[in-house]
Structure 1
Amino acid sequence: MGIVEHLVLLPGMMCDGRLWAEQIDGLKDFCASITVADITSADSIETIAQSVLEKVPDQFALAGLSMGGIVAFEIWRQASERVSRLALLDSNAHAELSESGRQRDQLLRRALAGEFREVITDALKPVYLAEVNKQNLALLDIILSMALDLGTDVFERQCNALKNRRESESTLPTITVPTLVLCGAEDSLCPIEIHEQMAQALPKSKLVVIEKCGHLSTMEQPDRVIAEMLEWLKAA
Protein backbone atom coordinates (compact mmCIF):
# COMPACT_ATOMS: atom_id res chain seq x y z
CA MET A 1 0.00 0.00 0.00
CA GLY A 2 1.38 3.38 -0.98
CA ILE A 3 1.81 6.38 1.25
CA VAL A 4 -0.92 8.88 0.39
CA GLU A 5 1.26 11.95 0.74
CA HIS A 6 1.95 14.63 -1.84
CA LEU A 7 5.69 15.26 -2.21
CA VAL A 8 7.13 18.59 -3.36
CA LEU A 9 10.78 18.66 -4.42
CA LEU A 10 12.85 21.85 -4.59
CA PRO A 11 15.99 21.74 -6.80
CA GLY A 12 19.28 23.42 -5.99
CA MET A 13 20.80 26.43 -7.71
CA MET A 14 21.03 26.01 -11.49
CA CYS A 15 19.35 22.61 -11.27
CA ASP A 16 16.02 21.28 -12.52
CA GLY A 17 14.04 18.07 -12.16
CA ARG A 18 16.99 16.01 -13.33
CA LEU A 19 18.50 16.58 -9.88
CA TRP A 20 15.68 14.47 -8.44
CA ALA A 21 15.18 12.01 -11.32
CA GLU A 22 16.21 8.89 -9.40
CA GLN A 23 14.15 9.83 -6.35
CA ILE A 24 11.07 10.53 -8.46
CA ASP A 25 11.35 7.07 -9.96
CA GLY A 26 12.12 5.39 -6.66
CA LEU A 27 9.40 7.09 -4.61
CA LYS A 28 6.56 7.46 -7.10
CA ASP A 29 4.74 4.35 -5.86
CA PHE A 30 4.79 5.66 -2.29
CA CYS A 31 3.37 9.15 -2.88
CA ALA A 32 0.01 10.49 -4.00
CA SER A 33 1.90 12.84 -6.33
CA ILE A 34 5.39 14.21 -6.84
CA THR A 35 5.94 17.80 -7.97
CA VAL A 36 9.27 19.41 -8.85
CA ALA A 37 8.74 23.07 -8.07
CA ASP A 38 10.17 25.91 -10.14
CA ILE A 39 12.59 28.10 -8.16
CA THR A 40 13.96 29.99 -11.17
CA SER A 41 11.43 32.75 -11.83
CA ALA A 42 12.15 35.36 -9.14
CA ASP A 43 15.11 37.11 -7.53
CA SER A 44 14.03 36.83 -3.89
CA ILE A 45 13.56 33.78 -1.69
CA GLU A 46 10.26 35.18 -0.40
CA THR A 47 8.77 35.56 -3.89
CA ILE A 48 10.01 32.13 -4.96
CA ALA A 49 8.32 30.57 -1.93
CA GLN A 50 5.06 32.40 -2.65
CA SER A 51 5.14 31.15 -6.23
CA VAL A 52 5.71 27.56 -5.13
CA LEU A 53 2.85 27.71 -2.62
CA GLU A 54 0.45 28.89 -5.33
CA LYS A 55 1.09 25.78 -7.43
CA VAL A 56 1.35 22.84 -5.01
CA PRO A 57 -1.26 20.80 -3.11
CA ASP A 58 -2.82 22.14 0.08
CA GLN A 59 -0.87 19.66 2.23
CA PHE A 60 2.50 18.19 1.28
CA ALA A 61 5.82 16.75 2.32
CA LEU A 62 8.64 19.11 1.32
CA ALA A 63 12.23 18.30 0.35
CA GLY A 64 14.87 20.78 -0.78
CA LEU A 65 18.51 20.43 -1.75
CA SER A 66 20.94 23.33 -1.27
CA MET A 67 19.10 26.47 -2.44
CA GLY A 68 15.97 24.34 -2.38
CA GLY A 69 16.42 23.90 1.36
CA ILE A 70 16.73 27.67 1.77
CA VAL A 71 13.44 28.10 -0.10
CA ALA A 72 11.94 25.36 2.09
CA PHE A 73 12.64 27.41 5.22
CA GLU A 74 10.72 30.33 3.73
CA ILE A 75 7.83 28.08 2.71
CA TRP A 76 7.65 26.92 6.32
CA ARG A 77 7.60 30.53 7.54
CA GLN A 78 4.82 31.45 5.12
CA ALA A 79 2.64 28.34 5.41
CA SER A 80 3.83 25.92 8.10
CA GLU A 81 0.33 24.47 8.44
CA ARG A 82 0.60 23.06 4.91
CA VAL A 83 3.92 21.22 5.42
CA SER A 84 3.57 17.71 6.87
CA ARG A 85 7.30 16.91 6.98
CA LEU A 86 10.56 18.45 5.80
CA ALA A 87 13.79 17.13 4.28
CA LEU A 88 16.87 19.36 4.09
CA LEU A 89 19.60 17.98 1.85
CA ASP A 90 23.05 19.55 1.54
CA SER A 91 21.71 22.91 2.65
CA ASN A 92 22.25 25.51 5.35
CA ALA A 93 20.29 27.92 7.52
CA HIS A 94 22.75 30.81 7.48
CA ALA A 95 22.36 34.16 5.78
CA GLU A 96 24.89 34.95 3.07
CA LEU A 97 28.34 35.49 4.52
CA SER A 98 30.18 38.59 3.28
CA GLU A 99 32.97 36.56 1.68
CA SER A 100 30.49 34.26 -0.06
CA GLY A 101 28.65 37.31 -1.32
CA ARG A 102 31.82 38.78 -2.80
CA GLN A 103 32.63 35.49 -4.52
CA ARG A 104 29.08 35.25 -5.84
CA ASP A 105 29.26 38.81 -7.21
CA GLN A 106 32.53 38.01 -8.97
CA LEU A 107 31.06 34.89 -10.60
CA LEU A 108 27.97 36.83 -11.65
CA ARG A 109 30.06 39.57 -13.27
CA ARG A 110 31.95 36.95 -15.25
CA ALA A 111 28.72 35.25 -16.31
CA LEU A 112 27.14 38.51 -17.46
CA ALA A 113 30.34 39.33 -19.37
CA GLY A 114 29.88 36.24 -21.52
CA GLU A 115 31.76 33.67 -19.45
CA PHE A 116 28.72 31.78 -18.15
CA ARG A 117 29.84 28.37 -19.39
CA GLU A 118 33.30 28.89 -17.91
CA VAL A 119 31.80 29.94 -14.57
CA ILE A 120 29.77 26.74 -14.40
CA THR A 121 32.59 24.51 -15.64
CA ASP A 122 35.53 26.02 -13.77
CA ALA A 123 34.11 27.56 -10.62
CA LEU A 124 30.99 25.63 -9.66
CA LYS A 125 31.08 22.10 -11.01
CA PRO A 126 34.41 21.01 -9.45
CA VAL A 127 33.26 21.72 -5.87
CA TYR A 128 29.92 19.97 -6.20
CA LEU A 129 31.12 16.37 -6.16
CA ALA A 130 32.92 13.88 -3.95
CA GLU A 131 36.40 12.87 -5.07
CA VAL A 132 35.19 9.52 -6.37
CA ASN A 133 32.65 11.26 -8.64
CA LYS A 134 34.81 14.02 -10.11
CA GLN A 135 35.66 11.94 -13.19
CA ASN A 136 32.10 10.67 -13.70
CA LEU A 137 31.56 12.21 -17.13
CA ALA A 138 27.90 11.25 -17.39
CA LEU A 139 27.15 12.95 -14.08
CA LEU A 140 29.23 16.00 -14.98
CA ASP A 141 27.40 16.33 -18.29
CA ILE A 142 24.00 16.35 -16.58
CA ILE A 143 25.13 19.02 -14.12
CA LEU A 144 26.47 21.20 -16.93
CA SER A 145 23.38 20.64 -19.09
CA MET A 146 21.01 21.68 -16.30
CA ALA A 147 22.89 24.93 -15.78
CA LEU A 148 23.27 25.76 -19.48
CA ASP A 149 19.60 25.00 -20.14
CA LEU A 150 18.55 27.43 -17.40
CA GLY A 151 20.94 30.11 -18.61
CA THR A 152 22.45 33.38 -17.46
CA ASP A 153 19.19 35.14 -16.53
CA VAL A 154 18.28 32.41 -14.05
CA PHE A 155 21.83 32.46 -12.69
CA GLU A 156 21.51 36.20 -12.05
CA ARG A 157 18.13 35.88 -10.35
CA GLN A 158 19.26 33.02 -8.14
CA CYS A 159 22.51 34.77 -7.21
CA ASN A 160 20.53 37.81 -6.08
CA ALA A 161 18.02 35.68 -4.17
CA LEU A 162 20.76 33.87 -2.29
CA LYS A 163 22.78 37.00 -1.66
CA ASN A 164 19.85 38.77 -0.01
CA ARG A 165 18.36 35.83 1.88
CA ARG A 166 17.54 36.07 5.56
CA GLU A 167 18.96 33.76 8.20
CA SER A 168 16.92 30.70 9.13
CA GLU A 169 18.64 29.59 12.34
CA SER A 170 15.87 31.26 14.32
CA THR A 171 13.29 29.31 12.30
CA LEU A 172 14.73 25.87 13.12
CA PRO A 173 13.17 25.49 16.61
CA THR A 174 9.73 26.25 15.15
CA ILE A 175 9.87 23.32 12.70
CA THR A 176 7.93 20.69 14.66
CA VAL A 177 7.32 18.17 11.86
CA PRO A 178 9.56 15.13 11.17
CA THR A 179 12.69 16.54 9.53
CA LEU A 180 15.41 14.68 7.65
CA VAL A 181 18.78 16.45 7.62
CA LEU A 182 21.03 14.75 5.06
CA CYS A 183 24.42 15.60 3.61
CA GLY A 184 27.38 14.13 1.81
CA ALA A 185 30.46 13.50 3.93
CA GLU A 186 32.51 15.37 1.29
CA ASP A 187 30.15 18.31 0.81
CA SER A 188 32.53 21.28 0.77
CA LEU A 189 29.80 23.86 0.10
CA CYS A 190 27.58 22.89 3.04
CA PRO A 191 29.81 20.78 5.31
CA ILE A 192 28.77 18.27 7.95
CA GLU A 193 29.11 20.75 10.83
CA ILE A 194 26.35 22.93 9.40
CA HIS A 195 24.00 19.94 9.25
CA GLU A 196 24.90 18.87 12.77
CA GLN A 197 23.98 22.34 14.01
CA MET A 198 20.68 22.27 12.15
CA ALA A 199 19.80 18.82 13.45
CA GLN A 200 20.51 19.86 17.02
CA ALA A 201 18.21 22.88 16.72
CA LEU A 202 15.33 20.99 15.07
CA PRO A 203 12.83 19.41 17.49
CA LYS A 204 12.16 16.24 15.44
CA SER A 205 15.21 15.63 13.27
CA LYS A 206 17.22 12.73 11.94
CA LEU A 207 20.77 13.43 10.75
CA VAL A 208 22.19 11.29 7.94
CA VAL A 209 25.75 11.63 6.57
CA ILE A 210 26.50 9.69 3.38
CA GLU A 211 30.04 8.58 2.60
CA LYS A 212 31.61 9.02 -0.86
CA CYS A 213 29.16 11.83 -1.49
CA GLY A 214 29.52 15.55 -2.08
CA HIS A 215 27.01 18.37 -2.49
CA LEU A 216 24.67 16.68 -4.98
CA SER A 217 23.63 13.71 -2.86
CA THR A 218 20.53 12.89 -4.91
CA MET A 219 22.70 12.25 -7.97
CA GLU A 220 25.87 10.94 -6.34
CA GLN A 221 24.26 8.37 -4.02
CA PRO A 222 20.68 8.12 -5.32
CA ASP A 223 19.76 4.75 -3.82
CA ARG A 224 20.83 5.76 -0.33
CA VAL A 225 18.88 9.01 -0.60
CA ILE A 226 15.79 7.13 -1.78
CA ALA A 227 16.03 4.77 1.20
CA GLU A 228 16.38 7.64 3.68
CA MET A 229 13.54 9.61 2.10
CA LEU A 230 11.27 6.58 2.17
CA GLU A 231 11.93 6.14 5.88
CA TRP A 232 11.30 9.87 6.35
CA LEU A 233 7.97 9.64 4.52
CA LYS A 234 6.93 6.86 6.89
CA ALA A 235 8.02 8.68 10.07
CA ALA A 236 5.27 9.55 12.53
Structure 2
Amino acid sequence: MTPLLCLPGMMCDARLFAPQIAGLSGGRMVACMDISRHATVAALAEAVLREAPPRFALAGLSMGGIVAMEVLRQAPERVERLALLDTNPLAELPEVQAGRAAQVARAEGGDLGAMMADTFVPRYLARPDPEIARMCEAMALDLGPQVFVRQSLALRDRPDQCATLAGFDGPTLILCGAQDALCPVARHELMHGLMPHAEYVVIGGAGHLPTLETPDIVTEALRQWLT
Protein backbone atom coordinates (compact mmCIF):
# COMPACT_ATOMS: atom_id res chain seq x y z
CA MET A 1 0.00 0.00 0.00
CA THR A 2 1.13 3.54 -0.71
CA PRO A 3 2.56 5.21 2.42
CA LEU A 4 0.51 8.07 3.82
CA LEU A 5 2.30 11.18 5.08
CA CYS A 6 0.32 13.63 7.23
CA LEU A 7 1.39 17.24 7.67
CA PRO A 8 -0.06 18.96 10.77
CA GLY A 9 -1.29 22.49 11.21
CA MET A 10 0.58 25.34 12.88
CA MET A 11 1.70 24.48 16.42
CA CYS A 12 0.33 20.95 16.08
CA ASP A 13 1.93 17.52 16.02
CA ALA A 14 0.81 13.93 15.44
CA ARG A 15 -1.96 14.31 18.03
CA LEU A 16 -3.88 16.31 15.41
CA PHE A 17 -4.18 13.15 13.29
CA ALA A 18 -4.30 10.58 16.07
CA PRO A 19 -7.76 9.19 15.17
CA GLN A 20 -6.83 8.94 11.49
CA ILE A 21 -3.44 7.35 12.17
CA ALA A 22 -5.15 4.74 14.34
CA GLY A 23 -7.87 4.12 11.80
CA LEU A 24 -5.74 3.93 8.66
CA SER A 25 -2.56 2.21 9.82
CA GLY A 26 -3.70 -1.38 9.29
CA GLY A 27 -1.37 -2.67 6.57
CA ARG A 28 -0.25 0.83 5.57
CA MET A 29 2.61 3.03 6.75
CA VAL A 30 1.11 6.23 8.15
CA ALA A 31 3.47 8.92 9.46
CA CYS A 32 3.04 12.46 10.73
CA MET A 33 5.92 14.59 9.48
CA ASP A 34 7.67 17.37 11.38
CA ILE A 35 7.12 20.85 9.89
CA SER A 36 8.59 22.83 12.77
CA ARG A 37 12.28 23.21 11.98
CA HIS A 38 12.47 25.87 9.26
CA ALA A 39 11.18 29.40 8.65
CA THR A 40 10.16 29.09 4.99
CA VAL A 41 7.58 26.88 3.32
CA ALA A 42 10.17 25.88 0.72
CA ALA A 43 12.64 24.64 3.34
CA LEU A 44 9.89 22.79 5.22
CA ALA A 45 8.86 21.02 2.01
CA GLU A 46 12.47 20.14 1.23
CA ALA A 47 12.81 18.58 4.69
CA VAL A 48 9.66 16.51 4.17
CA LEU A 49 10.96 15.27 0.83
CA ARG A 50 14.32 14.30 2.33
CA GLU A 51 12.60 12.07 4.86
CA ALA A 52 9.77 10.77 2.67
CA PRO A 53 9.62 7.48 0.77
CA PRO A 54 10.09 7.68 -3.00
CA ARG A 55 6.34 7.92 -3.66
CA PHE A 56 3.54 8.61 -1.22
CA ALA A 57 0.04 9.88 -0.51
CA LEU A 58 0.10 13.30 1.14
CA ALA A 59 -2.50 14.81 3.49
CA GLY A 60 -2.08 18.25 5.04
CA LEU A 61 -4.30 20.31 7.32
CA SER A 62 -4.07 24.11 7.49
CA MET A 63 -0.34 24.98 7.50
CA GLY A 64 0.27 21.32 6.71
CA GLY A 65 -1.80 21.75 3.56
CA ILE A 66 0.25 24.79 2.62
CA VAL A 67 3.45 22.79 2.99
CA ALA A 68 1.86 19.90 1.09
CA MET A 69 1.21 22.20 -1.87
CA GLU A 70 4.88 23.19 -1.87
CA VAL A 71 5.92 19.52 -1.70
CA LEU A 72 3.73 18.99 -4.76
CA ARG A 73 5.30 21.97 -6.51
CA GLN A 74 8.82 20.76 -5.82
CA ALA A 75 8.33 17.05 -6.58
CA PRO A 76 5.01 16.34 -8.34
CA GLU A 77 6.28 12.97 -9.57
CA ARG A 78 6.54 11.72 -5.97
CA VAL A 79 3.00 12.62 -4.87
CA GLU A 80 0.61 9.83 -5.85
CA ARG A 81 -2.46 11.45 -4.29
CA LEU A 82 -3.22 14.62 -2.37
CA ALA A 83 -5.62 15.51 0.45
CA LEU A 84 -6.04 19.17 1.40
CA LEU A 85 -7.90 19.79 4.66
CA ASP A 86 -8.96 23.20 5.97
CA THR A 87 -6.22 25.06 4.15
CA ASN A 88 -5.57 27.97 1.80
CA PRO A 89 -3.76 28.03 -1.58
CA LEU A 90 -3.33 31.81 -1.61
CA ALA A 91 -0.46 33.98 -0.42
CA GLU A 92 -1.12 35.66 2.91
CA LEU A 93 -3.12 38.87 2.79
CA PRO A 94 -1.24 42.04 3.83
CA GLU A 95 -3.60 42.69 6.75
CA VAL A 96 -2.90 39.21 8.11
CA GLN A 97 0.83 39.65 7.58
CA ALA A 98 0.67 42.88 9.56
CA GLY A 99 -0.69 41.08 12.60
CA ARG A 100 2.11 38.53 12.77
CA ALA A 101 4.65 40.78 14.51
CA ALA A 102 2.50 41.28 17.60
CA GLN A 103 1.83 37.56 17.85
CA VAL A 104 5.53 36.75 17.54
CA ALA A 105 6.29 39.29 20.26
CA ARG A 106 3.75 37.66 22.58
CA ALA A 107 5.22 34.22 21.96
CA GLU A 108 8.77 35.41 22.53
CA GLY A 109 7.63 37.22 25.68
CA GLY A 110 6.42 34.03 27.32
CA ASP A 111 2.74 34.45 26.50
CA LEU A 112 2.31 31.53 24.08
CA GLY A 113 -0.11 29.54 26.23
CA ALA A 114 -2.35 32.53 26.91
CA MET A 115 -2.30 33.51 23.22
CA MET A 116 -3.40 30.02 22.19
CA ALA A 117 -6.25 30.23 24.68
CA ASP A 118 -7.46 33.75 23.87
CA THR A 119 -6.61 34.14 20.17
CA PHE A 120 -6.19 30.83 18.35
CA VAL A 121 -8.19 28.02 19.92
CA PRO A 122 -11.51 29.94 20.01
CA ARG A 123 -11.27 30.28 16.22
CA TYR A 124 -10.39 26.63 15.68
CA LEU A 125 -13.59 24.97 16.83
CA ALA A 126 -17.17 25.06 15.60
CA ARG A 127 -18.31 24.76 19.21
CA PRO A 128 -16.42 24.86 22.52
CA ASP A 129 -14.70 21.59 23.37
CA PRO A 130 -12.49 21.75 26.49
CA GLU A 131 -10.69 18.48 25.69
CA ILE A 132 -9.66 19.57 22.19
CA ALA A 133 -8.77 23.02 23.50
CA ARG A 134 -6.46 21.51 26.13
CA MET A 135 -4.84 19.32 23.49
CA CYS A 136 -4.21 22.31 21.20
CA GLU A 137 -2.63 24.29 24.02
CA ALA A 138 -0.50 21.30 25.04
CA MET A 139 0.76 20.75 21.48
CA ALA A 140 1.70 24.43 21.19
CA LEU A 141 3.50 24.53 24.53
CA ASP A 142 5.37 21.29 23.75
CA LEU A 143 6.60 22.78 20.46
CA GLY A 144 7.47 26.11 22.09
CA PRO A 145 7.82 29.77 21.12
CA GLN A 146 10.66 29.39 18.63
CA VAL A 147 8.58 27.02 16.53
CA PHE A 148 5.76 29.58 16.67
CA VAL A 149 8.16 32.21 15.34
CA ARG A 150 9.47 30.01 12.51
CA GLN A 151 6.03 28.88 11.44
CA SER A 152 4.66 32.43 11.57
CA LEU A 153 7.40 33.62 9.23
CA ALA A 154 6.84 30.69 6.88
CA LEU A 155 3.12 31.41 6.67
CA ARG A 156 3.64 35.15 6.30
CA ASP A 157 5.93 34.74 3.29
CA ARG A 158 4.28 31.77 1.59
CA PRO A 159 3.67 31.76 -2.19
CA ASP A 160 0.41 31.44 -4.07
CA GLN A 161 -0.04 27.80 -5.14
CA CYS A 162 -3.04 28.01 -7.45
CA ALA A 163 -0.99 27.04 -10.51
CA THR A 164 0.51 24.11 -8.61
CA LEU A 165 -2.94 22.73 -7.82
CA ALA A 166 -4.26 23.30 -11.33
CA GLY A 167 -1.43 21.16 -12.70
CA PHE A 168 -2.15 18.07 -10.56
CA ASP A 169 -4.53 15.41 -11.86
CA GLY A 170 -3.92 12.63 -9.34
CA PRO A 171 -6.55 11.42 -6.87
CA THR A 172 -7.43 14.40 -4.69
CA LEU A 173 -9.57 15.08 -1.65
CA ILE A 174 -10.56 18.62 -0.63
CA LEU A 175 -12.19 18.63 2.79
CA CYS A 176 -13.17 21.30 5.29
CA GLY A 177 -15.40 22.06 8.23
CA ALA A 178 -18.45 24.10 7.29
CA GLN A 179 -17.76 26.45 10.21
CA ASP A 180 -14.04 26.93 9.59
CA ALA A 181 -13.36 30.58 10.49
CA LEU A 182 -9.67 30.53 9.49
CA CYS A 183 -9.83 28.81 6.09
CA PRO A 184 -13.46 29.30 5.07
CA VAL A 185 -15.45 27.17 2.67
CA ALA A 186 -14.86 29.72 -0.11
CA ARG A 187 -11.15 28.85 -0.16
CA HIS A 188 -12.03 25.21 -0.69
CA GLU A 189 -14.49 26.07 -3.44
CA LEU A 190 -11.63 27.93 -5.11
CA MET A 191 -9.40 24.84 -4.85
CA HIS A 192 -12.16 22.61 -6.19
CA GLY A 193 -12.51 24.95 -9.15
CA LEU A 194 -8.80 24.48 -9.83
CA MET A 195 -9.08 20.70 -9.37
CA PRO A 196 -12.55 19.73 -10.60
CA HIS A 197 -11.63 16.04 -10.51
CA ALA A 198 -11.23 16.21 -6.71
CA GLU A 199 -13.64 14.70 -4.21
CA TYR A 200 -15.04 17.66 -2.29
CA VAL A 201 -16.35 17.22 1.27
CA VAL A 202 -17.76 19.91 3.58
CA ILE A 203 -18.51 18.65 7.09
CA GLY A 204 -21.37 20.29 8.94
CA GLY A 205 -20.76 20.93 12.62
CA ALA A 206 -16.98 21.10 12.22
CA GLY A 207 -14.60 24.06 12.23
CA HIS A 208 -10.89 24.25 11.48
CA LEU A 209 -9.94 20.93 13.08
CA PRO A 210 -12.33 18.28 11.76
CA THR A 211 -9.72 15.55 12.32
CA LEU A 212 -10.51 16.01 16.03
CA GLU A 213 -14.02 17.50 15.91
CA THR A 214 -15.53 14.88 13.57
CA PRO A 215 -12.80 12.22 13.46
CA ASP A 216 -14.83 9.31 12.09
CA ILE A 217 -16.11 11.31 9.12
CA VAL A 218 -12.59 12.48 8.25
CA THR A 219 -11.10 9.01 8.63
CA GLU A 220 -13.72 7.53 6.31
CA ALA A 221 -13.20 10.30 3.72
CA LEU A 222 -9.45 9.64 3.79
CA ARG A 223 -10.03 5.88 3.54
CA GLN A 224 -12.11 6.32 0.41
CA TRP A 225 -9.54 8.72 -1.06
CA LEU A 226 -6.76 6.21 -0.43
CA THR A 227 -8.60 3.34 -2.06
State the TM-score, normalized to the length of structure 1.
0.94
Q: 1-side partners of 2:176 and 2:27: how far apart?
A: 23
State the TM-score, normalized to the length of structure 2.
0.98
Q: 2-side partners of 1:42 and 1:186: how far apart?
A: 30
1:27 aligned onto 2:24: yes
Pairwise CA distance, 1:203: 4.5
1:98 aligned onto 2:106: no
Which residue does the alignment assign to 1:154? 147
Letter in 1 for 2:217: R
1:39 aligned onto 2:32: no
Pairwise CA distance, 1:204: 2.3
Q: 1-side partners of 2:38 and 2:159: how far apart?
A: 16
Which residue does the alignment assign to 1:114? 110
Partner of residue 4 from structure 2, selected from 7, 10, 13 = 7
Which residue does the alignment assign to 2:58? 62
Letter in 2 for 1:51: A
Runs of 4+ aligned structure 1 residues displaced above 6 Å come to none
Q: 2-side partners of 1:102 and 1:109: how far apart?
A: 13
Which residue does the alignment assign to 1:76? 72
1:208 aligned onto 2:197: no
Which residue does the alignment assign to 1:17? 14
Q: What secondary structure is seen at the aligned counterpart in 1 of 2:111? A: helix
1:50 aligned onto 2:41: no
Pairwise CA distance, 1:114: 2.3
Letter in 1 for 2:166: P
Pairwise CA distance, 1:30: 5.0
- CA contact 1:176–1:203 (8 Å) conserved in 2: no
Q: In 2 relative to 1, CA 30–204 (structure 1 residues): closer, same or farther, beyond 3 Å? A: farther
Which residue does the alignment assign to 2:160? 167
Q: Please list the CA deviations of residues 97-119 of structure 1 after superposition, one character each: whole Å capped at 9, or x if unmatched.
A: 01111122221112212221111
Which residue does the alignment assign to 1:191? 184
- CA contact 1:90–1:215 (8 Å) conserved in 2: yes
Letter in 1 for 2:14: G
Q: Which runs of 5+ in 2 are unaligned?
A: none
Q: Which runs of 5+ in 1 are unaligned?
A: none
Aligned residues: 227
Pairwise CA distance, 1:36: 0.7
Which residue does the alignment assign to 2:83? 87
1:228 aligned onto 2:221: yes
Q: Please list the CA deviations of residues 173-221 of structure 1 after superposition, one character each: whole Å capped at 9, or x if unmatched.
A: 1111111000000000000011011011115211100011000110110
Which residue does the alignment assign to 1:126? 122
